With several copies, the nearest count.
Chain A
Amino acid sequence: MKQEILSNEEVAPGIFRMGIAIWKRIQSACPGQFVHIRCSSTFEPLLRRPLSIHEIDSNEVKLLYKVIGSGTKLLSEKKPGEKLDIVGPLGHGFNVEPSPESVMIVAGGIGAAPVLFLAHFLKAARKQVLIGARTGELILYEEEFKKLGFSVEVTTDDGSYGKKGLVSSLFEEFLKRETPAIVYACGPVALLKEVADTCGNCGIPCQVSIENQMACGVGACLGCVIKTKEKDGSTIYRRVCKDGPVFDASIVSWESLI
């Protein structure tokens, strides 16, 4: 499907936000779902690139993406008015619990992408978000979270903004004071593992959004699997694109990912 690009701006060094004209199916997307984008009309790169849905409003879908390699580079060069070959929504997103007492979002780096969309859906008496990034410039959408009624705490690796340190440490500290009813986490796998471990230890339900290389994006090729645990202790491979990208943190075999 080809959709018109409405905007494409660098919102922080190396991070772009793209607005794309909305289409029918995307309007019923759940937070945590992704779109699959063909970045080039040539064979370089050959495969589509998955990007989480960052926001959806009445006329556009927004994506927030970091330039990593050839695909995202090509994406960043696209101009408003051009058509984008895009498929979606795909995947299994976050399970939004009807109205828990409190929710917590932990977002590291470009992990902020899907959680802003998620934030719109969360209803709870107390809503907290912890955002971490390498440096202050990369802390995005603090204001948006506040508008949605979230308490926001920020860490940066270099201390240039918010607290200095890792968002995972902030999370641990936080848990000493409060116990959210549910935790949603996005970001690098090392962060996810730490959040998952902490939640596991405290018995807090936790959902994580996991990234992996994808080919088909629809569950057909079995290329994107990760190892997950069954109740009986055995492990099976599940597809990030179809069974995920959001998984219950307790079933993920973290050792296999690090």
Chain B
Amino acid sequence: MGKPDLTVNFAGIKMRNPLMVASGTFGYGEEYEELVDVKKLGAIVLKSVTLKPRQGNPPPRIVETPAGLLNAIGLHNIGVSALIREKLPGLRNLGTPIIVSIGGETVEEFVELIEFLTDAEGISGIELNLSCPNIGKRILAQDPAAAGKLLESIRKKCRLPLIVKLSPQVTDITEIAGTCEEKGADAISLINSFPGMAIDIETRKPVLGNTTGGLTGPAIKPLALKMVWDVCRVVKIPVVGMGGVMRASDAIEFMLAGAKAIAVGTALFSNPDIIEEIVQGIEDYLVQNGFASVSQIVGNLDGS
């Protein structure tokens, strides 16, 4: 048998393999250049940008927890204009699809962001980060009605594949995933970090400058996997699964649960070689199990 086919057409984005890097963990695509060969990646999702540059949260911004990382970066970013001006030109000729992640506080902000980006050169897709603070108490990802409205306002304006990234801190993730599909999302990205907290018992203060943060890394993998499985059974659009993928077997678990693509985030921090290891590991798995292409394992779960 020849080499298995690893290519994936993810909502129209042609990827050489199903592995992406998760937004916010790979900066603007250039920071890792000495350590990671981006040509080995299926796609790059950039750090979420907002309309205007943002300073983000006060430090400390990160703290380790058992098998996890709690972060409160707070959308620190250079803004969409600087992204287009300073970063995209260098990324255009990599041959690896670039997905721009965007965040906003109002529908108008999202609309403006889409307008900025939809004609920019060298972008293969847009990821909507719905975990940004909303007008109300909740984030958009926790409010299916508001998320639906947002999608109605931007769908027509956006000519690029539109991936909606959801938060796991909801009662029923399939509800909002369903709404997004209905309102025209091309794909779903699951999951963003889980809200969490750490306290320094000596100072009796929260460890993070922002008091609370988001938990990522291997600790949350079982939770992320369940959400991907739940969502993949109700939507038809493709899903990119993430949350604690640390090695090839994790990536394969997500694909068996139904994810057409997977992303690594936190794992990069401890092991920049993870990209090559996972791609190789998936290939080996396909060979060992007699699959001709990676698409054959997507959702290929017995007895559930």
Contact = CB atoms under 8 A, between A and B. Distances in A.
Nearest to A221: B25
A213 to B, nearest CB: 6
Contacts of B58: 227, 256
B293 to A, nearest CB: 31
Nearest to A217: B269
A46 B69 contact: yes
Contact of A46 (B60, B218, B272): B218
A160 to B, nearest CB: 28
A220 B59 contact: no
10 contacts: A44-B66, A46-B68, A46-B217, A212-B59, A218-B35, A220-B26, A220-B268, A222-B27, A222-B47, A225-B56
A223 B62 contact: yes
B64 A45 contact: yes
B31 A46 contact: no
A21 to B, nearest CB: 18
A217 B27 CA distance: 12
Contacts of A220: 25-27, 31-32, 47, 268
A193 interface: no
Nearest to A43: B67
A38 to B, nearest CB: 6
A122 interface: no
Given A47-B270, A226-B59, 16 more contacts: A43-B66, A43-B67, A46-B67, A87-B272, A212-B60, A215-B62, A215-B71, A216-B268, A217-B269, A220-B268, A221-B73, A222-B24, A222-B56, A223-B62, A223-B73, A225-B56
Interface string A196-222: 000000000000000011111111111
Contacts, number: 98
Interface of B: 24-27, 31-32, 34-35, 47, 55-56, 58-64, 66-69, 71, 73, 76, 217-218, 246, 266, 268-272
A121 interface: no
Contacts of A217: 269
Nearest to A40: B270
Given A43-B66, A46-B218, A215-B269, A223 B61 contact: yes
A214 B272 CA distance: 14
Contacts of B63: 213
Nearest to B71: A223
B59 A225 contact: yes
Contacts of A25: 34
A185 to B, nearest CB: 21
A150 B271 CA distance: 40
Given A46-B217, A47-B69, A215-B71, A225 B270 contact: no
A150 B138 CA distance: 60
Contacts of A226: 59
Nearest to A215: B269
Nearest to B207: A213
Interface in A32-74: 38, 43-48
Contact of B64 (A38, A47, A221): A47
